[in-house]
Amino acid sequence: MSNTIQAVRGMNDVLPDHAHIWAFFEETVRDWLHAYGYRNIRMPIVEQTGLFKRAIGEVTDIVEKEMYTFVDSLNGESLTLRPEGTAGCVRAVLQHNLLYNAPQRLWYMGPMFRHERPQKGRYRQFHQVGVESLGFAGPDMDAEQIIMGARLWKKLGLSDIALQINTLGSSEDRARYRSRLVKYLEGHLDQLDEDSRRRLHSNPLRVLDSKNPAMQGIIEGAPRLLDDLGEDALKHFEDLQSMLRSAGVEFEINTRLVRGLDYYNYSVFEWVTDRLGAQGTVCAGGRYDGLVEQLGGKPASACGFAMGVERLLALMEEQKVDIPQAAPDAYVVHVGEAADRFALNAVEQLRDAGVRAVLHCGGGSFKSQMKKADQSGARYALIIGDNEAAAGQIAVKPLRVPGEQSMLGVAETADILKQR
């Protein structure tokens, strides 16, 4: 084993025994998004490094230390594996002028890359489902996206995911708050850790996001943005709350909730569970009205969210959501030259009729093939010897369903197998 090459640390294989859970998740997500009229967009995994610097902000964990950045040796361009999807999505929307005459409801799903310390719920290649609405300014869209989340958890069979919301105000509110916060933090300089000191002037709101336990006291005492909101932001936030109430979605206001990314304003929200230890945020989002303009477009409102697929799957596992693995309908056992030829054709006809069948490959005795049939999980073994081949028939033997073995033609066999 010592000579085999291993996967990159923090980048995981999904093995066949787990793949059906991913497939269930992906199908559920697609159905759910279609129910709300969102359309799929697929962006490249690699983008110009400058896109993320501009969209996410230079003074963020992601851009400062988490990006996989490399130089394209052919032309010297700096490129980066996408650490998140919003930047690329907005880039694509602008590049192809999708906002020309209609707002857009968009979604994507795929791998993201961040150079973090791998641990439970935190990987270097992980997957997100991202949902973005562009061109919608009102709180009705914020409410839609939050209500969507509540519905998805139900569809996935999940409970214990609590909603926290906050507002970051308008960009003016935020600027005003920023100077109040800086003044407060400067008054407590001796208590700030190294990260926070560095962020004090470049990105002070991020100090509130610090996970350092030693910082929690000073964060508790900080002035609250919520206490000094302009009229617009206050109304937006109150409208959002009343829409959530009337939809029956419970929430908690967490005034310390700020997003790690710089382009958020107005509503921010997180869906959090206490069942996964420290990595409990399964979905995070909010409004980012400033981003489209920041990326060179005409100003346009926007809001969106991203969920961590691995964390949601871990929660499904933790909560014992049972997703049965689809087994084949039949396993085809065949011995003899004429039988081999007949089996090859018969199994294709069965598949034409919609049957899921595994054809035994590699020869061997009836006995050893029957063992494989059993291990496959198939409901039936289809047994073909030279006699069956000559008669154009199949011996259909139930493995996991009641009933006797019977001799049937191909079409009758298909009818039986399709009664799942």
- At closest approach, how far in Å is the CB of 282 from ligand ATP? 5
- The tokens of 213 are what? 């336990």
3-state secondary structure of 328: coil
- At closest approach, how far in Å is the CB of 138 from ligand ATP? 23
Taking the least distance from each CB to ligand ATP, the nearer of 117 and 367 is 117
Taking the least distance from each CB to ligand ATP, the nearer of 124 and 236 is 124
Query: What is the rounded distance in angstroms from the CA atom of residue 266 to the CA atom of residue 280?
Result: 23
Taking the least distance from each CB to ligand ATP, the nearer of 260 and 377 is 260
- At closest approach, how far in Å is the CB of 119 from ligand ATP? 9
* Long-range residue pairs from 5-10, CB within 8 A, at least 24 positions apart, any chain: 8/124, 8/125, 9/118, 9/124, 10/116, 10/118, 10/123, 10/124, 10/125
- At closest approach, how far in Å is the CB of 86 from ligand ATP? 9
- At closest approach, how far in Å is the CB of 84 from ligand ATP? 5
3-state secondary structure of 6: coil
3-state secondary structure of 277: coil
Taking the least distance from each CB to ligand ATP, the nearer of 132 and 388 is 132
C-beta separation of 156 from 318 below 8 A: no
What share of residues in the chain are helix, strand, coil (percent, to 5)?
Answer: 40, 20, 35
Taking the least distance from each CB to ligand ATP, the nearer of 118 and 364 is 118
Secondary structure (DSSP) of 75-100: T--EEEE-S-SHHHHHHHHHHTTTTS
Taking the least distance from each CB to ligand ATP, the nearer of 86 and 301 is 86
Taking the least distance from each CB to ligand ATP, the nearer of 118 and 377 is 118
- At closest approach, how far in Å is the CB of 172 from ligand ATP? 25
C-beta separation of 182 from 201 below 8 A: yes
Chain residue at closest Cβ approach to ligand ATP: 308
Radius of gyration of the chain (CA): 28
Please state the separation of Cα 329 from the chain's center in Å.
31
- At closest approach, how far in Å is the CB of 309 from ligand ATP? 8
- At closest approach, how far in Å is the CB of 188 from ligand ATP? 23
Adjacent-strand bridge partners of 286: 268, 304
Taking the least distance from each CB to ligand ATP, the nearer of 156 and 410 is 156
Adjacent-strand bridge partners of 126: 112
Binding positions for ligand ATP, rule: CB under 6 A: 84, 114, 116, 121-123, 126, 128, 260, 279, 281-284, 306-308, 310-311
Query: What is the rounded distance in angstroms from the CA atom of residue 85 to the CA atom of residue 107?
Result: 10
